Amino acid sequence: MELKRIAVIGSGALGTYYGARLAAAGHDVHFLMRRDYHAVKSGGLHITSPEGDLTLEHPKIYKTSAEIGPVDWVICALKSTSIDEGQKLLAPCVAENTRILVLMNGLGLEERFAGWFDAQRIFGGMAFTCINRGNPGHTHHLAYGPITIGHFQDNKAELAKAIELWSQSKVSVFESSCLLQSRWEKLGWNIPFSGLAVAAGGITTDRIMEDEGLNSAAHRLMGEVLASGNADLEHHSQRARIDSDILVDLFFKSTSTMGPYRPSTMIDFVEGKAMEIEAIFGEPLRRAQTLGVPVPQLTLLTTLLRALNHGR
Cβ nearer to a copy of itself, comparing 159 with 196: 196
- Cα separation of the two ends of the chain: 44
**152 Cβ contact list (under 8 Å, min separation 6):** 110, 114, 119, 120, 122, 123, 124, 179
SS3 category, 137: coil
306: contact with a copy of itself by CB under 8 A: yes
- Rounded to whole angstroms, how far apart are CA atoms 272 and 309? 9
| Minimum distance, C-beta of residue 245 to a copy of itself, in the bound complex (Å) | 21
- Rounded to whole angstroms, how far apart are CA atoms 113 and 155? 17
- Rounded to whole angstroms, how far apart are CA atoms 258 and 250? 13
196: contact with a copy of itself by CB under 8 A: yes
296: contact with a copy of itself by CB under 8 A: yes
| Minimum distance, C-beta of residue 234 to a copy of itself, in the bound complex (Å) | 23
206: contact with a copy of itself by CB under 8 A: no
Stretch that binds a copy of itself, among 127-135, 138-146, 225-233, 300-308 (CB under 8 A): 300-308
**Total residues at interface with a copy of itself (CB under 8 A):** 24
Cβ nearer to a copy of itself, comparing 33 with 214: 214
105: contact with a copy of itself by CB under 8 A: no
302: contact with a copy of itself by CB under 8 A: yes
Amino acid at 122: I
Task: Say what the alpha-carbon torsion angle 252, 78, 44, 72 is, to the nearest 10 degrees.
Answer: 110
304: contact with a copy of itself by CB under 8 A: yes
| Minimum distance, C-beta of residue 196 to a copy of itself, in the bound complex (Å) | 8
Stretch that binds a copy of itself, among 102-110, 131-139, 165-173, 209-217 (CB under 8 A): 209-217
SS3 category, 271: coil
| Minimum distance, C-beta of residue 210 to a copy of itself, in the bound complex (Å) | 11
- Rounded to whole angstroms, how far apart are CA atoms 36 and 47? 14
| Minimum distance, C-beta of residue 301 to a copy of itself, in the bound complex (Å) | 7
- Rounded to whole angstroms, how far apart are CA atoms 290 and 232? 10
Q: Which residues are catalytic?
A: 186
